[in-house]
Amino acid sequence: MRPATIGIIGGTGLGELLLKQAGGEALTIDTPFGAPSGPIVRGSWAGAEVAFLPRHGPRHTLNPSVVPYRANIWALKQLGVTTVIASGAAGSLRQEMHPGELVVCDQVIDRTFRRESTFFEAGPVVHVAFADPFCPRLRQALLRAAQQVQTPVHDRGTYICIEGPQFSTRAEAHLHRQWAGDLVGMTCLPEAKLAREAEMCYALIALATDYDCWRPAPPGGHDELVKEVLANLQRGSEAAAELIRVTLALLPAEAGGCGCGTALDLAVWSDLSATEAATRTRLAPLLARFEAARAGK
Ligand SMILES: [Zn+2]
């Protein structure tokens, strides 16, 4: 089998849906950062070689704070993945982003506070650029594909990533709106940061499941609301699967020019000889070309 180059990280809804659809080999992988959320299913889907990983585990047992984000990205990197399409359920902070619709996010605000968010905690010091957190090439491919799906797809959105697992207070929801947030979710970070450090192209499709609590809930009570959220999640997941299927066919034509694959250039600030040999060995998949350049001096 050729190396898998497209990784798909399925969030709530899509994870379960794709796990049923994706055929192929289930790989149990270990990484220097522990085990990923579950086996990675590697196979062909929609004519592409894909590696699929449900973010919350095969039985949805990992809450957003304990998802092994570093192991997940590292495991995909080990499989040769260079491009990651991720999905995640989110609450809408905007009237015009209706529940059941999709958003190809373009910005994110980090409100998490208890997650490991870098591969480089033990050195070297690495500062990757993150002004544009999502790959522009991949976003464009998703937006071109969006023209071929029935569900409305918003072409941009600022995702506020909260720690969870509790939802926001009403005061926080209003604050997030004042910050120009469009969606609130719990899983985009540190995933997107780690993908950048791993020099992978990464984009996020957010599935709006409901309006966050800034908006008064419609009459019908809690049970009705939960039923509606689940229905939107199902609808959004099916739409996201369709969007990804169409995108996979477009991707080869969109290759190159985004700079994700060289994100560490100019980002490594330490003299590598000052980092412990064991750490350098552990991080070799990311640092190999810098080590080679250093050796060639
Ligand atoms: Zn890219």
Any idea what the CATH number is for the domain that residue 193 is in? 3.40.50.1580
Whether 31 is covered by a domain: the verdict is yes
CA 263 / ligand 1 centre spacing (Å): 9
The answer to whether position 144 is within a domain reads yes
SS3 state at 292: helix
Nearest CA among 71, 15, 11, 65 for reference residue 41: 15
Q: Ligand 1 mean position to 203 CA, how many Å?
A: 9
Residue identified by tokens 């898998």 is 4
Q: How far apart are CA 154 and CA 272, in angstroms?
A: 43
């950048």: which residue's tokens? 196
- Cβ-proximal residues to 292 (8 Å cutoff; 6+ apart), any chain: none
DSSP-assigned letters across all residues of 36-64 = -SSPEEEEEETTEEEEEEETTTTTT---T
Q: Output the CA torsion sign for 278, 283, 288, 292.
A: negative
- Residue 84 Cα, ligand 1 centroid: separation in angstroms? 9
Sheet strands (E) in the chain? 6-10, 25-27, 40-45, 48-54, 83-92, 102-104, 107-111, 153-154, 158-162, 183-185, 201-211
Q: In Å, how far from its chain's centre is CA 213?
A: 24
Quote the ligand 1 centre to 223 CA distance (angstroms): 42
Q: Are strands 107-111 and 158-162 parallel, antiparallel or unpaired?
A: parallel
Residue 145 counted as domain residue = yes
Range of the domain at 197: 6-295
Tokens of 52: 């699929």
Distance 121 CA to ligand 1 centre (A): 24
Give me the tens of pLDDT residue by residue for the chain, a chain 297 residues long. Answer: 455 589 999 987 776 677 667 678 889 999 999 999 999 999 888 888 899 999 999 888 999 999 999 999 999 999 999 999 999 999 999 999 999 999 999 999 999 999 999 999 988 999 999 999 999 999 999 999 999 999 999 999 999 999 999 999 999 999 999 999 999 999 999 999 999 999 999 999 999 999 999 998 877 778 888 888 999 999 999 999 999 999 998 886 656 789 999 999 999 999 989 999 999 999 999 998 888 887 776
C-alpha 148/C-alpha 174 separation (Å) is: 34
Greatest CA separation for the chain: 70
Residue 99 lies in a domain: yes
For residue 272, tell me if it sits in a domain: yes
Q: How many domains does the chain have?
A: 1
Cα(276) to ligand 1 centroid in Å equals: 30
- What is the per-residue pLDDT for 195? 98
Token pair 């957010």 is found at 206
Q: Name 242's Cβ contacts closer than 8 Å, sequence gap at least 6.
A: 149, 150, 151
Question: Half-sphere exposure (CA, 13 Å, Cβ side) for 191?
Answer: 37
CA distance 280 to 291: 9
Residue 1 belongs to a domain: no
- Could you tell me if residue 131 is inside a domain? yes
Burial of 25-43, coded b for 16+ CB within 10 Å and e otherwise, reads: eebebebebeebbbbbbbb
Q: Is the pTM of this model over 0.75?
A: yes
Alpha-carbon gap, residue 2 to 194, rounded angstroms = 25
Structural domain includes residue 141: yes
Residue 53 one-letter amino acid: L
Active-site residues, by number, are 210, 212
DSSP 128: -
pLDDT of 1: 40
β-partners of residue 27 are 40
Task: List Cβ neighbours of 194 (8 Å cut-off, separation of 6 or more).
Answer: 69, 70, 73, 117, 118, 119
CA distance 28 to 22: 16
